[in-house]
Structure 1
Amino acid sequence: MTDDRTTGPEAPELIWLRPERTGRGPRPAHSRDSIAAAAVAIADAEGLDAASMRRVAAALGAGTMSLYNYVPKKEQLLDLMLDAVVGEYDLPAEPSGDPRDDLHLLLRQQLAALRRHTWVPRLVIGRPSLGPNGLRYTEYFLACLAGTDLSGAAKMEAMALLNGFLCQYAEWEHTTAAGGRWQADLVVYLQRVVVSGEYPQLAQAMAGGPAAEPPAPDAVFDRTLHRLISAVLTPEGPAPRV
């Protein structure tokens, strides 16, 4: 669905409501796909902040101002970038019918994308978007839950919960991989806290933790994801009393 108001104060803020081209004049030299691909490549190499309109225009061999004819605002460029990444998912024609397996495979694929594009979690949390590829993903996610007893609202909440976990996990994984002195200091600090005797519950929970060999990231992800999927597939009960 598009909106014919392409310019002026009443033009839609959401780029998906703007037609990519009006049908008048010569064929555009660039497309939203090519613009998004250039921006994603810059963000992958140098970080999200580096993907400015100027840098993207230079990568395309275009003038910065001419790029605004395609993407009027930087925020809309971010929407295009996010949807381009979601477009990398290789979704099956239809789910297998086993919600646990289907969700696990889908979220595994998402994690692979977040590992390739480490800037995506920050963007998803700050500016979630739902472009054409995002809608395709949403439709497939809901199809994975079609045979469950969950309500429509519960299915959407499950998607938000699992996506939030994915972003948080990918951020943790990226930060941990970066390491640094702070991480070593944190281990030392926690070891001191544990032996102080002031936090017995923490000590019990962390028994064999900081000093032991850290678990493989994939094992942590699979174990935690299994728990979350089990939780979201649990039939809805009464709301807790406040």
Structure 2
Amino acid sequence: MARTGSSGRHAGVDPELLWSPAERPRRGRPPAYDRATITAEAVALADTEGLAAVTMRAVAARIGAGTMSLYSYVPNKETLLELMIDQVSGEHRLPPEPSGDWRADLRSIAREQRAIMRRHPWLPAALPARQTLGPNTLAAVEHTLVVLAPAGLDARARLETFSLLTGFVASHVTYELAQERAVEAAGGTCGEHLEAQDRHLRSVAAADKYPHLAQALAAAGHDPAPQAVFDRLLERMINGLTAAT
């Protein structure tokens, strides 16, 4: 049974109703708006002001409509969120065919996901609330399953690998963005912040209280650039996911 929200309207998402092709009205004036326009405005609002700013009233104001009229296109905020997630998922550049190197293809998928999530900082927080998969998301899932076919994983394991990979990217982007906000709030630059962290850790490690940390810091340095850090962790993630192969 569907839940009922505080407005008295049904909450929750009906996947069949949401993703079925909409029929054109046979009589009367054509609709003043469409879901694509409404969704694009909601995405733009979330991009600039955050997910909490996306309300039916705020989106209606952006398109110049009354709040109640918006419900004839999108029945509730949960449905709007599904539309938003699937719309930005359509930004994923999917090649016509896998390259044949499934590890390289998996890296490309993860990098695309990271790029999309950084363009839309609200997305990592929105994904756990997703209730269904839209056509753009399904296309990305299908592509990933095809990419992983030569990896020796069964069908269920390939699907789980996609979920784990997406979760890793979302978690990492959440951390990246939080660090950037902290640096911005504190002033200075990201490079200055990293240098300060490094000086602190090296001074602590020099006291011989943390010998393993000292050993790690003394090892050949790794590139601290965000993309380089992501790529190193991604490589470990891929190796771990497919260790059984």
Greater alpha carbon shift after TM alignment, 118-127 vs 159-168: 118-127
**1:116 and 2:115 are equivalent in the alignment:** no
1:130 pairs with one of 130, 133, 137: 133
8 A contact 2:55–2:77 mirrored in 1: yes
User: Partner of 2:93: helix, strand, or coil?
Assistant: coil
Return closer, same or farther for 1:166/1:54 CA change in 2, 3 Å cut-off.
same
In structure 1, what residue type is equivalent to 2:13? L
Q: 1:129 deviation in Å?
A: 4.1
1:202 pairs with one of 213, 219, 227: 213
Q: 1:74 deviation in Å?
A: 0.7
Partner Cα separation in structure 2 for residue 220 and residue 16 of structure 1 = 37
1:205-224 correspondence runs (5 A):
205-207=216-218, 215-224=224-233
Partner Cα separation in structure 1 for residue 115 and residue 51 of structure 2 = 18
2:237 pairs with one of 202, 206, 228: 228
RMSD: 3.0
1:32 pairs with one of 32, 35, 48: 35
1:11-52 Cα distance to aligned partner (Å, 9 max, x none): 894243214645444432222211111100011111111111
**TM-score, with structure 1 as normaliser:** 0.81
Return closer, same or farther for 1:172/1:163 CA change in 2, 3 Å cut-off.
same
**Greater helix share, 1 or 2?**
2
8 A contact 1:20–1:70 mirrored in 2: no
1:108-150 Cα distance to aligned partner (Å, 9 max, x none): 1111111111111111134364111111110001010122210
5+ long unaligned stretches in structure 1: 1-8, 237-242
User: Partner of 1:147: helix, strand, or coil?
Assistant: helix
In structure 2, what residue type is equivalent to 1:54? R
In structure 2, what residue type is equivalent to 1:173? E
User: Partner of 1:118: helix, strand, or coil?
Assistant: coil
8 A contact 2:86–2:134 mirrored in 1: yes
In structure 2, what residue type is equivalent to 1:223? R
Equivalent residue pairs, number: 227
In structure 2, what residue type is equivalent to 1:235? A
In structure 2, what residue type is equivalent to 1:159? F
User: Partner of 2:151: helix, strand, or coil?
Assistant: coil
The equivalent residue for 1:77 is: 80
The equivalent residue for 1:45 is: 48
In structure 2, what residue type is equivalent to 1:58? A
2:96 pairs with one of 90, 93, 97: 93
Partner Cα separation in structure 2 for residue 40 and residue 15 of structure 1 = 21
8 A contact 2:205–2:214 mirrored in 1: yes
2:66 pairs with one of 63, 66, 75: 63
In structure 1, what residue type is equivalent to 2:82? D
**TM-score, with structure 2 as normaliser:** 0.80
1:81-134 Cα distance to aligned partner (Å, 9 max, x none): 100100111211121121011111122111111111111111113436411111
Partner Cα separation in structure 2 for residue 223 and residue 203 of structure 1 = 20
5+ long unaligned stretches in structure 2: 1-7
Partner Cα separation in structure 2 for residue 102 and residue 128 of structure 1 = 27
Greater alpha carbon shift after TM alignment, 56-65 vs 224-233: 224-233
Return closer, same or farther for 1:177/1:213 CA change in 2, 3 Å cut-off.
farther
Identity over the aligned pairs, expressed in percent?
43
The equivalent residue for 1:157 is: 160
The equivalent residue for 1:240 is: none
Q: 1:197 deviation in Å?
A: 4.0
1:175-216 Cα distance to aligned partner (Å, 9 max, x none): 2222144996x938756653554433334334479xx89711
